[in-house]
A = this chain, B = another copy of it.
Amino acid sequence: MRYRLFIRLLLLCASLALGVHASAQTDPLPSWNNGAAKKAIMDFVQATTTQGSPGFVPPTERIATFDQDGTLWVEHPIYSQVMYCLDRVPALVKAKPELAKVEPFKTVMSGNRQAIAKLPLKDLEKILAATLTGMSVDQFNAEVKKWLAEAKDPRWKRPYTELTYLPMQEVLKYLRANGYKTYIVTGGGQDFVRVYAEATYGVPPEQVVGTAGGTKYAYDKYGKPFLTKEPKLLLNDDRAGKPQGIHLMIGRRPYASFGNSDGDRQMLEYTKAGDGTRLAMIVLHDDEKREYAYGPARGLPATKVGAFTQPLYDEAKKDGWIMISMKNDWKRIFAFEP
């Protein structure tokens, strides 16, 4: 009897040491309805983490990449980073009053929403450059942090960082629990997303790949070095820029990728083009009631934000990418809702 107890405890030790917990049997994706999408994720993890399985992937090679806007959190009707840039304009004009009379700053300062929405891309780029560069890295981080603590999404009246999709948070955790390094690969600003990615998604700064600019290294009057954000684009992390960014920042091809728009197409096809078991998934915004319906749910081509066009749809079908229907596959969308 004592011997039996000893064996039992040894087994317990082994299971603790290996990190195998009794809770491993519980559903890792409770906010997902049973269906093809949930099954695809579970099958992928099973195939790539079961020793001896033909699809087994060594732990060091387990990389999964996630688009952010529209894939991990709400992107509609306007990217939160664009909101940030527009919100920064008054402070910018206060610091440089001459800008008040210059477009596009004049329009932004007018507060005329319809006019702001109609600003051409070239003007929007001017606003982004003026509000995202020219300051020290530390100053930028502090400004973003402050904004995130105060700004609220107009529909849900909550901080943007609460508008993450609970089912996708579960996928991030589930993959990490199975040895995957989870990366955000976003068309958004790398420095911007890094400010909140760790607290919001459990993704540390070094696992955020995004659109990135150069920095300048200089010294303050005390001889202390600091970096200034320069208006020089190093990586446009969108479309073909996503596999390029993945190569630059990670250096390995992901085994799983998640996206929701044309901007993710190359990342998804690059992922699927690798050997062995690979997973490519697309979030479809087809839930007008609980979130929004746009893109294929409204007929192709999609709205401007998060464009989703026919070639993406065709390639997804042909290449076996799995669609995630927010309406049908997700039991819950946000953690703050029942």
Chain A residues in contact with chain B, CB under 8 A?
2, 5-6, 9-10, 12-14, 16-17, 60, 63, 137, 181, 190-191, 194, 198, 204-206, 208, 212, 214-215, 217, 224-225, 227, 234-235, 240, 243-244, 247-252, 266, 269-270, 273
Question: Can you list 27 A-B pairs with a CB-CB distance of less than 8 A?
Answer: A5-B6, A9-B9, A9-B10, A9-B13, A13-B13, A13-B16, A13-B17, A16-B16, A16-B17, A60-B204, A190-B248, A190-B251, A204-B252, A205-B251, A205-B252, A206-B206, A206-B251, A206-B252, A212-B248, A214-B244, A215-B247, A217-B244, A217-B266, A217-B270, A225-B266, A225-B269, A225-B270
Residue contact B269 to A240, C-beta cutoff 8 Å: no
In this complex, which of A198, A247, A251 has the most chain B Cβ atoms within 10 angstroms of its Cβ? A251
**A112, B299: Cα distance in complex, Å:** 68
Given contacts A12-B13, A214-B244, A234-B234, list 5 more A-B pairs with CB under 8 A.
Answer: A2-B5, A13-B16, A13-B17, A205-B252, A206-B251
Choose one: B198, B204, B244; the contact of A215 (CB below 8 Å): B244
Using Cβ atoms and an 8 Å threshold, which residues of chain B touch A17?
A: 13, 16-17
